């Protein structure tokens, strides 16, 4: 279906609903139709229609009318009388494989969805933006294959992208993920390293390299990587702080580990790393603060949905409770 969205942006359709508003105790005025857009951080097409729900925790009086596959959203918002006219519509946006996003739609606004896991964060790579069209086409094919779990095809497409444009740091980063999925850790490390060498302020490869190092029990290396990343203030990468805490905990650096894991919990608003609570409990136990450790571990065991290792966590809680009762 072809829609002339420029016309929608320029034309406001008013509906006479003042009587309804008055009956509901709201300021009287008409309703307007507005247009916003949802895009993915890597610029690839949306794999499915996003689910959009009104965020009742926010303010505003609006309704989602239509969501198109290309990310365009048509919504209505109450036009209050006087100085309170608004096109604001607080929403919650969900799309499989991407972070749940709380946002406020405005006329002409563009909402960027970020992938779960090691998201691109707020640092957009200039080198990726400059990638030529053939490289971007190969990259888009690779990401489509990733979404289908076709790792071999994804590897081939992403390798084509970096062959066309060797400075394609984002493609190198995704290629590393694909190689990890195929149990090729050393090749993945090389790919992440290339992404970081191209763009030293590109945060995602730091998180990827730290995660890989920890998976191989290379805790000194992981701490060195996270130590280089944290001065860049990775607010959208709580995983960097989490990996730093894991490394510091193993290296018996309890104070540094506690500081990092608390920062990870603070920044992890989407609760992608629930195990950070359990790690905090282990760190506090290591420091001899059993009462605080129990608080953190109980919070972890009480999460919904329940963590996969909740049984182990409850056993640890019972052990601490017995020791505290002595």
| DSSP sequence for 263-276 | HHHHH-TT-S-THH
State mean pLDDT over 192-220: 95
**Are the CB atoms for 290 and 320 separated by under 8 Å?**
yes
31 pLDDT higher than 90? no
Among the listed residues 38, 82, 84, the one whose alpha carbon sits nearest the alpha carbon of residue 61: 84
3-state secondary structure of 72: strand
Instruction: Name, in order, each residue with C-beta under 8 angstroms of 180's C-beta and a sequence gap of 6 or more.
Output: 188, 212
- Give strand pairing partners of 40: 113
Task: Please tell me which residue, 123 or 6, carries the higher pLDDT value.
Answer: 123
Residue 244 buriedness (CB in 10 A; 0-12 / 13-18 / 19+): buried
Q: Please state, in angstroms and rounded to a whole number, the distance separating the CA atoms of residues 46 and 95.
A: 9
Among the listed residues 289, 215, 279, 270, the one whose alpha carbon sits nearest the alpha carbon of residue 241: 279
pLDDT tens, position by position, 130-147: 899 999 999 999 988 988
pTM exceeds cut of 0.75: no
Domains within the chain, CATH numbers bracketed:
5-113 (2.60.40), 126-325 (1.25.40.10)
Question: Given this model, what pLDDT does residue 290 score?
Answer: 92
Task: Please tell me which residue, 44 or 210, carries the higher pLDDT value.
Answer: 210
Length of the chain: 326
183 pLDDT higher than 80? yes
């Amino acid at each position: 279906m072809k829609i002339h969205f420029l016309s929608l942006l320029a034309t406001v359709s008013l509906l006479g609903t003042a009587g309804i508003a008055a009956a509901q105790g709201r300021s009287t005025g008409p309703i307007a139709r507005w247009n916003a857009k949802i895009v993915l951080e890597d610029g690839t097409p949306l794999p499915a229609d996003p689910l959009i729900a009104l965020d009742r925790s926010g303010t505003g009086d609006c309704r989602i009318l239509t969501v198109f596959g290309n990310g365009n959203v048509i919504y209505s918002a109450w036009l209050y009388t006087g100085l309170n006219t608004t096109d604001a519509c607080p929403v919650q946006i969900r799309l499989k494989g991407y972070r749940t996003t709380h946002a406020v739609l405005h006329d002409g606004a563009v909402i960027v969805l970020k992938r779960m896991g090691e998201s691109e964060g707020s640092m957009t790579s200039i080198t990726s933006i400059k990638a030529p069209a053939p490289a971007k086409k190969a990259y888009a094919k690779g990401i489509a294959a990733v979404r289908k779990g076709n790792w071999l095809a994804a590897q081939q497409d992403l390798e084509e992208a970096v062959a066309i444009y060797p400075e394609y740091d984002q493609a190198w980063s995704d290629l590393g993920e694909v190689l990890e999925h195929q149990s090729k850790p050393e090749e993945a490390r090389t790919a992440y390293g290339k992404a970081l060498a191209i763009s030293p302020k590109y945060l995602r490869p730091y998180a990827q390299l730290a995660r890989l190092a920890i998976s191989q029990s290379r805790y000194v290396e992981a701490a060195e990587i996270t130590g280089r990343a944290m001065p860049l203030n990775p607010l959208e990468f709580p995983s960097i702080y989490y990996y730093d805490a894991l490394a510091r905990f193993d290296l018996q650096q309890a104070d540094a580990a506690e500081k990092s894991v608390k920062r990870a919990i603070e920044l992890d608003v989407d609760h992608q790393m629930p195990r950070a609570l359990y790690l905090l409990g282990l760190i506090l136990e290591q420091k001899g603060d059993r009462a605080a450790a129990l608080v953190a571990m109980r919070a972890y065991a009480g999460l919904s949905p329940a963590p996969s290792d909740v049984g182990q966590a409850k056993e640890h809680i019972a052990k601490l409770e017995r020791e505290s009762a002595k």
